[in-house]
Amino acid sequence: MPILKIARMGHPMLTRTAQPVPNPEGPRVKQLVRNMVETMKDADGAGLAAPQVHVSRRVVIFQAPPERSLPGLGEEEAFDHSAPLTVLINPEIDYLTEEMEEGWEGCLSVPGLTGLVPRCAHIRYRGYDTEGTPIEREARGFHARVVQHECDHLDGILYPQRMTDLSKLMFTSESRHWAEALAQDLPLEEEL
């Protein structure tokens, strides 16, 4: 399986609106998804969108590694780590609450950085897998976050564009200092 090259912030592919996939069960889509899965695992990412590998189509994959889960959430809100990796073709999101939650995000297209991003706390998402089977799920917490992050890539949006406080955009290697400085006054953010 080839490992695909990942576009980084500044590449125009990442600012384009990706096109719908006319035939989700087609062989070319299966091949693309296989290569995206290999690329995501090789890069140790939680998700990947087709535009990140220079394919302007509405395809995302995601998987939340156990260490990325949010402790303290109820069963219903926790990511199902036993679930297979999810492939979503032509995804759509319904926002089920106006409540926003802040959480730390990184992106394979923005290497070395992390930022605090507000996201809708509760969503429903729909799409198709590579057999053309409809998928519909509700998601909260990190699960909801990763879906919103990946689907944003299909509309040419990177997570820094969703941030409301750019002082919380930082190098991952410095973020522990930031956490230490805050530790006296505020609870640590989960992912730091």
Residues that bind Ni ion (CB under 5 A): 107
Task: Give me the least distance between CB of 109 and Ni ion, in Å please.
Answer: 5
Distance CA 47, CA 65 (A): 10
Instruction: State which residue, 107 or 151, has the beta carbon closest to Ni ion.
Output: 107
d(CA 43, CA 166): 25
The residue nearest Ni ion at its CB is 107
Supply 2's token pair.
């080839």
Identify whether 75 is a catalytic site residue: no
**Would you say 12 or 22 has its CB closer to Ni ion?**
12
Kindly state the smallest distance separating residue 153's Cβ from Ni ion, in Å: 6
Q: Residue 170: exposed, middle, or buried by beta-carbon count in 10 A (0-12, 13-18, 19+)?
A: middle
The active-site residue, picked from 150, 180, 190, 191, is 150
The whole-angstrom separation of Cα 50 and Cα 130 is: 14
Q: For Ni ion, give the closer residue by CB, 5 or 177.
A: 5
Kindly report the backbone phi and psi dihedral angles of residue 93, in degrees, each rounded to the nearest multiple of 5, phi listed first: -120, 135
What's the closest the beta carbon of residue 173 comes to Ni ion, in angstroms? 19
Distance CA 69, CA 46 (A): 11
Please identify every residue annotated as catalytic.
Answer: 150
